[in-house]
Structures are given as structure tokens and as C-alpha cells.
Amino acid sequence: AQTVTQSQPEMSVQEAETVTLSCTYDTSESDYYLFWYKQPPSRQMILVIRQEAYKQQNATENRFSVNFQKAAKSFSLKISDSQLGDAAMYFCAYRSFTSGTYKYIFGTGTRLKVLA
């Protein structure tokens, strides 16, 4: 069975600094997608970034980038130039689509605090 592990329940970063959130996963499938979602206090789940497993190039979205290590099954999120608005829960998620069926597995989340 697939699993997603976020080993950091909470992280803090100084405003304007860089922080990396960790995520590891386990799967025997070869084709899948990985996502990072942000959940601010408003509760809304917001897609931050996605990575296709078949792509070697790491995804980037403005100040957000990932370090995808497929062999190590690692998918970390780097936030550069942290802003107060980045404070939220961050969830790593795995998705596969096999035989017409989706599997979505979410990690337990990392709470990011941004210090002014």
C-alpha cells in the first residue's frame, strides 16, 4: 500500500528566509503524481505545486520549488523569500491512476510558522 510521510509536524522560518519541508513516500507504482497543498487558517486547500513522476526536472512555481528524488522516494518543498502569508499547514499528497481508479494519499501535514 502507498504511504506518505511528513516527519516534521511543525517548522518555523524567519520572514525573507528559505525553508524546506520534507516528504517521503512509498509505492511500487512507476507512474504517479505528487503534490503540495497549502491549508491556511481559512481551511481552504490550495494547490501549491505538482510533479509528474516521469519528469526528471523539478517543478517550480515562483518562490516554491521541489526537490524530487524518485529513487529515494523523496519530495521536498522549498519556499524561498518566505512571507507572512506563507504561514499555513502544508500537505504532501500522492496520486496514482491505475485501471481507471484514482488513489489519493495525503501526509499528516507540516505546520509552517513565519516569524516577522
DSSP-derived secondary structure for 56-81: -SPPEETTEEEEEETTTTEEEEEE-S
61 binds other proteins (CB under 8 A): no
Stretch that binds other proteins, among 8-16, 64-72, 80-88, 91-99 (CB under 8 A): 91-99
Query: Shortest distance, CB of residue 43 to other proteins, whole angstroms?
Result: 5
| CB nearer to other proteins: pick between 82 and 109 | 109
| CB nearer to other proteins: pick between 35 and 75 | 35
Per residue, the 3-state secondary structure of 4-40, as one string, reads: EECCCCEEEEECCCCEEECCEEECCCCCCEEEEEEEC
Query: Shortest distance, CB of residue 31 to other proteins, whole angstroms?
Result: 8
Question: Cα separation of 81 and 19, whole Å?
Answer: 9
| CB nearer to other proteins: pick between 46 and 115 | 46
Question: Cα separation of 38 and 60, whole Å?
Answer: 15
Which residue(s) pair with 74 in the sheet? 24, 69
Question: Which of 16, 47, 84, 115: binder of other proteins (CB under 8 A)?
Answer: 47
User: What is residue 81's three-state secondary structure?
Assistant: coil
| Residues found near other proteins in the complex (CB under 8 A) | 31, 33, 35, 37, 42-47, 50, 91, 93, 97, 100-104, 106-109
